[in-house]
Copies of this chain bind each other. A is one copy, B any other.
Amino acid sequence: MVCSKKQKWTHKLRMLEDAYRQTVTEQALAQQLFGSITDLFPICRSITGSGVRETLSYLNRISPMEIHEVPSGTEVFDWVIPKEWNIRDAYIKDSSGKRVVDFQRSNLHVVNYSTPIAGQFSLEQLRPHLFTLPDQPDLIPYRTSYYEESWGFCLSQNQLDALPDDEYEVFIDASLEPGSLTYGEIYIPGKSEEEVLISCHICHPSMANDNLSGMVIAAYLAAHLKSLPLHYSYRFLFVPGTIGSITWLSLNEQTLPKIQHGLVLAGLGDPGPLTYKRSRRGDDAIDRAASHIVYQQSEQPPIEFSPYGYDERQYCSPGVDLPVGRLSRTPHGSFPEYHTSADNLDFIQPKQLADSLMACLAIFDIIEQNRYYINTKPMGEPQLSKYGLYSATGGNKQSPEIQMAMLWVLNLSDRKHSLLDIAERSGLSFETILLAAQKLYKHGLLTPDEKLWRHNPK
């Protein structure tokens, strides 16, 4: 029985990341992720409507999900589900009939949630409805007006400057009517009912990094995790930003106590290094696990929590206060392409997408594998050479790093330090510490603490 336990444990070693590597090369994975983003890029998404449904339908083919429809008017905490918005076409035509601003060329051209309009306007009359980025004159901004009924167009400053005084025909073929808010949910049961929450926002129209990167990575993660034995259950949410997470929280209050760890995924394809923003709790298990992996990969220290950003704002509101952090690359708002037409397929890189996905798995590996062990020979060091774990004269049989990792694991396996504690204290990677622990365990020099699966390794 001890033997079977050992086998099981050994088998689980780095299962999530390694398992992926066994099925697909990182390069192929990178192309899969990029390919899906390319497919989804043209769709005009919003917080409600057919663009969201089409997107979820595509993601559903990567990893089957439950699609929820919540009717307009439903009260969700302090909010109300808005009317559903759908758009078919929109343009500004000059007096010659030429479309000078055309929704068909970029869905950013229309202010998201614009009410329908059809009429003739002079340029001066139009101006209050036109939005540009004077400091980035080539780019179209991304604008929304969810909770104030209005209409408008976004265009580049250069486009605007080139418009002559003229009589323009304005047309927005949109509807804003009672309907529903749509979101997707994937639940992957593990051995425990305790959950890991992964959330991404699906409401942005043609933007690659923010947040097609997040939703596509989430879908592939879910597809991968489904095939593996897991301790935790994993719940993936594909929700429109703010209103979507508030809706889910409001409808699932009974589920919240089960959530032990969580990540918001957003902006994971740009060329910048991985970054992690702490949960409101600041130093929970997810904060330590994600900070460790991000530091190992990119040497970026974690970003302190602030009540701004993506849906971590809702998951970390004071009455909810879930241990949910955010994994990104360059933080939103701090890259010039943010919320513009430059957040396109050229801005994201296949390799960055794949690395982001693998980092998620490495974080989950810590969450799944971190434990407390007890040194079975705590008086002095055990004679490692007896077990073939120490080199004799001619150079090391073990790599020096593993050798040091074994000494650290032996020294700190005193019921007070988890493997992650030991990794943090030693400056070695969790992966190395886990490997050392496995070797020591194989030789009976470690025994699991009865507190196995303690979640918060603080």
- Chain A residues in the interface with B (C-beta under 8 A): 76-79, 111, 131, 143-145, 147-148, 150, 152, 242, 245-246, 249-250, 253, 280, 306-308, 313-314, 316-321, 375, 377-383, 385-386, 392-394, 404, 407-408, 410-414, 426
A410-B375 Cα distance, complex, nearest whole Å: 47
Of B76, B78, B411, which is within 8 A of A307 by CB? B411
Q: Which 3 A-B pairs have the closest CB atoms?
A: A319-B378, A307-B411, A148-B392
Most B CB within 10 A of own CB, among A77, A280, A408: A77
Do most interface residues of chain A lie in helix, strand or loop, or is the interface mixed? loop
Would you give the shortest CB distance from A321 to chain B, in whole angstroms? 8
State whether A379 touches B411 (Cβ < 8 A).
no
Known contacts A143-B393, A380-B314, A383-B147; decide if A411 and B280 are in contact (CB<8 Å). Answer: yes
Of B150, B250, B379, which is within 8 A of A317 by CB? B379
State whether A393 touches B77 (Cβ < 8 A).
no
Of B111, B250, B317, which is within 8 A of A381 by CB? B317
Would you give the shortest CB distance from A46 to chain B, in whole angstroms? 14
Would you give the shortest CB distance from A261 to chain B, in whole angstroms? 20
State whether B150 touches A318 (Cβ < 8 A).
no
Query: In the complex, which residues of chain B have a beta carbon less than 8 angstroms from the beta carbon of A131?
Result: 393-394
Known contacts A393-B131, A393-B144; decide if A382 and B78 are in contact (CB<8 Å). Answer: yes
A392-B319 Cα distance, complex, nearest whole Å: 26
Most B CB within 10 A of own CB, among A131, A145, A148, A250: A148
Query: In the complex, which residues of chain B have a beta carbon less than 8 angstroms from the beta carbon of A382?
Result: 77-78
Known contacts A152-B393, A308-B404, A379-B77; decide if A410 and B147 are in contact (CB<8 Å). Answer: no
Would you give the shortest CB distance from A6 to chain B, in whole angstroms? 20
Would you give the shortest CB distance from A203 to chain B, in whole angstroms? 16
Query: In the complex, which residues of chain B have a beta carbon less than 8 angstroms from the beta carbon of A147?
Result: 383, 385-386, 392
Would you give the shortest CB distance from A172 to chain B, in whole angstroms? 14
Would you give the shortest CB distance from A396 to chain B, in whole angstroms? 13
Would you give the shortest CB distance from A126 to chain B, in whole angstroms? 14
State whether A78 touches B383 (Cβ < 8 A).
yes
A380-B245 Cα distance, complex, nearest whole Å: 8
A394-B145 Cα distance, complex, nearest whole Å: 9
Q: A246-B380, A306-B407, A318-B412 known; 19 other A-B pairs, CB under 8 Å?
A: A76-B380, A77-B380, A78-B377, A78-B383, A131-B393, A145-B392, A148-B385, A148-B392, A152-B393, A245-B380, A249-B379, A307-B381, A317-B378, A317-B379, A317-B380, A317-B411, A318-B414, A319-B377, A319-B380
